[in-house]
Amino acid sequence: MGLLTSIGNIFFTHYLNSLFLNAVGTKGTAVIVYAEETNSLYNEGEVFAAKYVPGFERNILIMRDMSVYGQRWLFNKDLKPVNKVEAQLAARPANPKFITEYRLVLQAFIEKHREGLDPALMRQYEQKLEALEARERERRH
């Protein structure tokens, strides 16, 4: 039992720490001023939202969804499926499966990021969706 607990501790301690900091941590902002290579992502010196325990500030929880850096990271992550399906459709523009998949992926992306960081860019994706829907209507008639 002790061995299993030790192994579990190695893999799950950071999750417990994150839950603890999220529950009782003090909100603040942080900037990385020194970094050693780990399996964590760094934000290249931008200010980001964080939670920490006063007196032990080196143990922080980055509140990724609450900072511009995190919002941009999530936006780019969510854009990958759009780009993938867009490339598929460009390769086979008449494929009904690709058309449907592109429409669904675009709709989900737009809905999630409608009030996002870049309204002009979101308008471009809305226009792509409108053009696709117009093309589908023409094809049916």
Query: Mind listing the pLDDT tens digit of every residue in the chain (141 residues)?
Result: 677 777 766 777 778 888 888 888 889 888 777 666 666 655 567 778 889 889 888 888 888 778 777 788 888 999 999 999 999 999 999 898 999 999 999 999 999 988 876 888 889 999 999 998 888 888 777
Q: Which residue in 43, 139, 49 sits closest to 95, CA to CA?
A: 139
pLDDT recorded at residue 41: 59
CA 54 to each of CA 20, 67, 84: distance values in angstroms, whole numbers, following the listed order: 13, 21, 44
pLDDT recorded at residue 130: 94
pLDDT recorded at residue 111: 93
pLDDT recorded at residue 1: 66
Contacts 24+ apart (CB under 8 A), 123-131: 125/82, 129/103
The first and second tokens of residue 16, run together, are 């417990």
- Residue 92 main-chain phi, psi, to 5 deg: -135, 75
pLDDT recorded at residue 105: 96
The first and second tokens of residue 66, run together, are 């609450």
Place of tokens 């209507």: 137
Asked whether the beta carbons of 125 and 105 are under 8 A apart, the reply is no
pLDDT recorded at residue 64: 75
